[in-house]
Amino acid sequence: MKTLNFGNVTIDRVQDWYGALLPLKDFYPTFDRGILESQRSWMEPHFLPLKGSPNEEMLHLSLHTFVVRSGKNLILVDTCVGNDKKRSTVPEFVNYKSDYLGKLAAAGVKPEQVTHVMCTHLHLDHVGWNTRLENGKWVPTFPNARYVFDRTEFEGWANRQDDHGLDGSYADSVLPVYEAGRADLVASDFALDDSVWLEPSRGHSPGHVCINIKGQKGQALMTGDSFHHPIQVAYPEWHSAFCMDLAMSTASRRKILDKLCDKDIWMLAAHFNTPTAAHVVSNGDRRRLKI
Ligand SMILES: [Zn+2]
């Protein structure tokens, strides 16, 4: 993704992982091959592999962090898988190791410079680099940052830490931050400054939020895991197998699409493949992405 430059605010993307995670038909319980094919023209090749290519049937996901520079604030949104985490449910993420910090450095970010870490929600692939292992103990990776968590999300998972979408991440990537006194538990309409504020998009998880970014010359909405794949821009009624409240997740997707459609607001989803940033435009009685 090229840097989005809104004048007084910029957004970059640092990727931690890309790959084919699992079959689309397993990820989307209402998967329909005919529907997917009907939308192929605008999705390939970035968002849908070319016909006949390897892993064509699989859901391809990018795991990335958005780096936001807004005035004095240097903000990371969603922190991917992390290193050395003892996961069990997704083989690719068990004891995963990446040069994420090196990639951040290449983007001009040193850990101590980060002022805020914000998580759209607390699933394992959004909190991993919140912490790193130091002498056998999980410590905040970004020592000077405030970690901004939606209070409903933080409290909603406290008694459900064995959920397969967390897989141990609450204990090693969320609680150590809280116990170190670095967490701010905020309301779903929290505003960090004039350019960065939350809005609720419940359903995928108990306290899922989107993050608005607005500068002098542009605007974006970080939609987290309200959407995993662009097919849901055309078919928001497709919920993922990992959504907690199916009806609410669909309602949140529709609300987001109504806000973005045919407007000059970038959609920045947590898992859309390169180039990631796109606009939502009308497409007959449905919608599509325009890159
Ligand atoms: Zn995710």
Q: Cα(202) to centroid of ligand 1, in Å?
A: 14
- DSSP conformational letter for 93: G
pLDDT, one tens digit per residue, over 152-173 is 999 999 999 989 899 999 999 9
Domain containing residue 15:
4-290
Q: Percentage of residues in the chain with pLDDT exceeding 90? A: 92
pLDDT digits (tens, 9 = 90+) for 195-211: 999 999 999 999 999 99
98-106 long-range Cβ contacts below 8 angstroms, 24+ apart:
98/16, 98/17, 100/14, 100/16, 100/65, 100/129, 101/129, 101/141, 103/14, 103/15, 103/16, 104/14, 104/65, 104/67
pTM for the whole thing? 0.96
Ligand 1 centre distance from Cα of residue 123 (Å): 6
Predicted confidence (pLDDT) per residue in 260-289, tens digit: 999 999 999 999 999 999 999 999 999 999
Rounded distance from Cα 20 to ligand 1 centre (Å) = 14
CA of 271 to the centre of ligand 1 (A): 7
Ligand 1: centre distance to CA 39 (Å): 23
- Predicted confidence at residue 53, as pLDDT, reads 86
Q: What is the pLDDT of residues 89-102, one digit of tens each?
A: 888 899 999 999 99
For the segment 247-261, what is each residue's pLDDT rounded down to a tens digit?
Answer: 999 999 999 999 999
Distance of CA 66 to the CA centre of its chain: 9
Does the pLDDT of residue 111 top 90, yes or no?
A: yes
Q: Is pLDDT at 21 greater than 90 in this prediction?
A: no
Q: Kind and range of the H or E element at 23?
A: strand 9-23
Q: How far is the CA of 65 from the centre of ligand 1 (A)?
A: 11
CATH number for the domain spanning 271: value is 3.60.15.10
C-alpha count within 13 angstroms, C-beta hemisphere, residue 24: 22
Distance 80 CA to ligand 1 centre (A): 8
Backbone angles phi, psi at 69, to 5 degrees: -110, 115
pLDDT in tens, 43-62: 999 999 888 888 889 999 99
Ligand 1 (ion): residues with CB under 5 Å are 125, 225
Ligand 1 mean position to 19 CA, how many Å? 13
DSSP labels, 167-235: TTHIIIIIHHHHHTT-EEEE-TT-EEETTEEEEE-TTSSTT-EEEEEEETTEEEEEEETS-SSTHHHH-
Residue 23 clears pLDDT 90, i.e. is over it: yes
78 or 88: which carries more pLDDT confidence? 78
Cα(227) to centroid(ligand 1), Å: 9
User: How many Å lie between the centroid of ligand 1 and the Cα of residue 82?
Assistant: 13
Domain count, the chain: 1
- The span from the CA of 194 to the CA of 24, in Å, is 39
